[in-house]
Amino acid sequence: MIISPELKYAFVSTVKGGTNSLYQILTEHYQGKRYGGFHCNDVSGIPADWHLFTTCRNPYSRAVSIWFSTCMRGKDRYYFRQMCPNPDSFEVFAEWAAIMQSQLSRLSEPQQQLLMTQSQRHGDIDFDTILRVEQLRSDFAKLPFVESKLPEFPILNPTRNQRDSAGDYLTERAIRAVQKWMAPDFIKYGYELEFHGEAPIETSAA
């Protein structure tokens, strides 16, 4: 979490939801300070008059990002390659992740954070703003503490340019699996069940 007592805001990160980029922007340009763990979402100590915000991301793009970063980068930091029946297949991974939703309590905290839905992570937190990753720059500009010209948004994604677009992995079977895995997110954040391609993240000053 990032907070700013001076500007009276608190940002609760969403795993695979632009966290690194926003952490850098907030700490370098908006008097942000780290509060709690990297993905802390305990807002019980945040004053009621602060602006509380987070991000959400298209479930299809987020699902592909989770799979690729945990299974396809030559590492097995979270042991998903050992747990998933066929970690080289996004279809199989998404189906496995959907099944694991009822077994998250068996996993470590980092494993849970990666596989749980955005809805579950956000829980009952009453956010003032939820920024969409697909329109991050324009949504960020509307935050009450943002008054001057926006700085360039860094893209601090280690898998950028390492994988194909999300659509290249989304077969009919994979789409059904993601819809089952992340069903609550489509409803809560208003994303369409029909996949229309991976939207670029807004970062440029234009």
Total domains in the fold of the chain: 1
Would 24 be classed as within a structural domain?
yes
Dihedral angle over CA of 56, 57, 60, 61, nearest 10 = -150
Q: pTM, whole model, 2 decimals?
A: 0.90
Residue 164 pLDDT greater than 90, yes or no: no
Who contacts 95 (Cβ-Cβ below 8 Å, separation ≥6)? 173, 177, 180
Please tell me the predicted confidence (pLDDT) of residue 163. 73
Range of the domain at 52: 2-189
Q: Give the whole-angstrom CA distance, residue 14 versus residue 181.
A: 17
Would 204 be classed as within a structural domain?
no
The single residue listed with the structure tokens 């993601």 is 178
Q: Is 49 exposed, middle or buried (0-12, 13-18, 19+ CB in 10 A)?
A: exposed
pLDDT of 54-98, one tens digit each? 999 999 999 999 999 999 998 899 999 999 999 999 999 999 999
Would 69 be classed as within a structural domain?
yes
Q: Is 22 exposed, middle or buried (0-12, 13-18, 19+ CB in 10 A)?
A: buried
Would 184 be classed as within a structural domain?
yes
Would 205 be classed as within a structural domain?
no
pLDDT of 110-150, one tens digit each? 999 999 999 999 999 999 999 999 999 999 999 999 987 88
pLDDT of 180-203, one tens digit each? 999 999 999 999 998 876 655 544
Residue 160 pLDDT greater than 60, yes or no: no
Would 203 be classed as within a structural domain?
no
Please tell me the predicted confidence (pLDDT) of residue 47. 97
Would 60 be classed as within a structural domain?
yes
